[in-house]
Structure 1
Amino acid sequence: MAGNVWFIIGASGFGKAIAKEALRRGDSVVAVSRRGTSLKDLESLGAMLLDLDVTSDDTTINGVFQAAIDKYGKITHFINAPGYLLEGPAEGASSKDAFDSINVNVLAIMNLTRLEIAYLRPRKSGYIANFGSVGSWYGGSAYSHYSAAKWAVSGFTESVHEEVKEFGIHATVIEPGYFRTEFLHAEGTNRKVVSNVLEAEYKGSSVDIVRKALIGINNHQPGDVVKGAKVIVDVLTGSGVATGKEFPIRLILGRDCMDGIHDKIARTEKLIKEWEDVIVSTDHDDVQRA
């Protein structure tokens, strides 16, 4: 029976880098995406390739799990990294834009996680890592739906962590900053625009500024995805940089992400300090007197 068996859903970008790092260490990898069988570079390194639409029904998803189990005898690590950026003003997103974004970026991850827990819980061991983002911590112009999705994934995974840790399952949300992957490529599948970009209406606005910034930072992101993947595999195997450290509920990657979180904490503390008298004034009188 194989040692660690990684089942990586969304095996492009970070997912592909994690797959390569796990394979380099001698682990087994199942690389899964909508067009998973096209990932020939991973296959040449020894990965098993499988196709899966993450919005599929339970029977289909469990069938793909079973294909991996039939080959390797088990799955020890699940990486859930499907998703895409929906870019543009919130006003310009159609109801279908919004539903599709939440369906892939949130509901699919929730459903995959549910089925993964059902597989791992009787075995009382295993790892589940869902992908959040620096966008899990703060919102901004031109990426409202993406930020909403990543906030949801992080909150969901933090809750799952509390539910499953007593069963020997380790769940974490990976929150990278800007890493030099193909995620922001306009011609790729990870960056989509809203149905009505309202270009004239938002010209010169913060939406326009952010859109141009995303174009400008593409291929110049500060994060090294190979280094990031090494850290992720270390953390999910309790080795290397993770040796002796407590398993993290949130795995933050990149100085830009860390700096953004520090800024969010400072702004939140300032808000609470300014509004504290109003915040506590809404308690019942008997609570206020206690």
Structure 2
Amino acid sequence: MKLDLLHHGALRTKNEGRSRRASNTYAMSGNVWFIIGASSGFGKAIAEEALRRGDAVIAASRRGTTLKGLESLGATLTDLDATSDDATINAAFQVAIEKYGKITHFINAPGYLLEGPAEGVSAQEGLDSITVNVLAIMNLTRLEIAYLRPRKSGYIANFGSVGSWFGGPVFSHYSAAKWAVSGYTESVYNEVKDFGINVTVIEPGYFRTEFLHAQGNNRKLASNMLEAEYKGTSVEASRNAIAAVNNRQLGDVNKGAKVIVDVLTGSGVAAGKEFPIRLPLGSDCARDIRAKMASTEALIKEWEDAILSTDHDDAQQA
């Protein structure tokens, strides 16, 4: 059984000492990271890794100014809801720009798992999931491109998932959202590379973060779980598997964050390599993507006669 066990994540300077630390570390590298969804998981781990390397970090989340751990490492904190309007988001960018002179790297990592059978998800719950997991990332990316394009450089990383590659029981809405994010990001990658802007979608497999904690903010249950109706089915089995694997995932989020920062700075494991349009992470992710590729090739082979029969008789292959 496959389950997508996911990553998951106005400026205020709290004190002059912390501001000096952030400014001094920034002077060491010139990289300035604006991380949306920095309260936990990959967003937080990326912030910590960038700070360790001497970069400046603006850590943003809905309760960003409560992230004392990142603040103590030198990050600047900001409260920013990923679904905010353009003016609010641009204002947060501008305060960061006024402090550090620029933003070089954007990480868009808001999101949550909506768990439950597709039948049990209300229209409002589905809309809310797509708003946070897809539309917010699209809007953030649009505003980030508008900032970076005149500067002819910069990096944007959106968070997809191994769930960008396959669907499964109880995470249909999350998988749909992550497919959308990966498809959108691939399109944007090709739109803006001529401007010197590098865009990628990060697709983690099973990583040991707080994402699946029942008491956390990243895992929500559908309003109608239909437990009696789906008892003994793949839905019940998948829910049990999610509970069983929590805190036992294969992936180490700190190792994953190190690879991400390497890729987005062209250093370490990424030195000398072409910037990737997608960045899968985790041995399980590589395994599942290969399985998806093989099953898709098998499907095309089995149905190839029917697939090829639908062209116009006078059509010429490009």
Q: Which bin holds the TM-score, normalised by the shorter protein? A: over 0.9
Asked if residue 45 in structure 1 is aligned to residue 73 in structure 2, the reply is yes
Aligned to 1:137: 165
Aligned to 2:35: 8
Once the two structures are superposed, the pairs formed by residues 59-78 of structure 1 within 5 Å of their partners are: 59-78=87-106
Aligned to 1:229: 257
Letter in 2 for 1:25: R
Asked if residue 107 in structure 1 is aligned to residue 143 in structure 2, the reply is no
Letter in 1 for 2:308: V
Deviations 1:72-94 (A, max 9, x none): 11100000000000000000000
Alignment equivalent of 2:191, drawn from 163, 187, 198: 163
Structure 1 position 62, deviation (Å):
0.4
- Check 1:288–1:274 CA distance in 2 against 1; reply closer, same or farther (3 A cut): farther
Give 3-state SS (helix, strand or coil) of 2:202's partner.
Answer: strand
CA distance in 2: counterparts of 1:78 and 1:215, whole angstroms: 32
TM-score by length of 2: 0.90
Alignment equivalent of 1:270, drawn from 298, 304, 308: 298
Letter in 2 for 1:151: W
Moved over 6 A (4+): none
Letter in 1 for 2:265: T
Deviations 1:37-58 (A, max 9, x none): 1110000000000001111110
Structure 1 position 141, deviation (Å):
0.6
Letter in 1 for 2:231: K
CA distance in 1: counterparts of 2:43 and 2:261, whole angstroms: 11
Q: Percent identity?
A: 78
Give 3-state SS (helix, strand or coil) of 2:212's partner.
Answer: coil
Q: Which segments of 5 or more consecutive residues in structure 1 lack a partner in the other structure?
A: none
Asked if residue 152 in structure 1 is aligned to residue 180 in structure 2, the reply is yes
Total equivalences in the alignment: 290
Structure 1 position 287, deviation (Å):
2.2
Aligned to 2:85: 57
- Check 1:81–1:289 CA distance in 2 against 1; reply closer, same or farther (3 A cut): closer
Asked if residue 82 in structure 1 is aligned to residue 122 in structure 2, the reply is no
Give 3-state SS (helix, strand or coil) of 1:127's partner.
Answer: strand
Deviations 1:100-155 (A, max 9, x none): 00000000000000000000000000000000000000001100000000000000
CA distance in 1: counterparts of 2:275 and 2:293, whole angstroms: 22
Alignment equivalent of 2:220, drawn from 168, 192, 202: 192
CA distance in 1: counterparts of 2:316 and 2:298, whole angstroms: 23
Structure 1 position 161, deviation (Å):
0.3
Structure 1 position 67, deviation (Å):
1.3
Structure 1 position 289, deviation (Å):
9.9
Q: Which segments of 5 or more consecutive residues in structure 2 lack a partner in the other structure?
A: 1-25
Aligned to 2:54: 26
Give 3-state SS (helix, strand or coil) of 1:139's partner.
Answer: coil
CA distance in 2: counterparts of 1:144 and 1:228, whole angstroms: 25
Deviations 1:181-223 (A, max 9, x none): 0000010000001110001001111111111101011000000
Letter in 1 for 2:219: R
Give 3-state SS (helix, strand or coil) of 1:285's partner.
Answer: coil
Deviations 1:225-262 (A, max 9, x none): 01000000000000000001110000010010000000
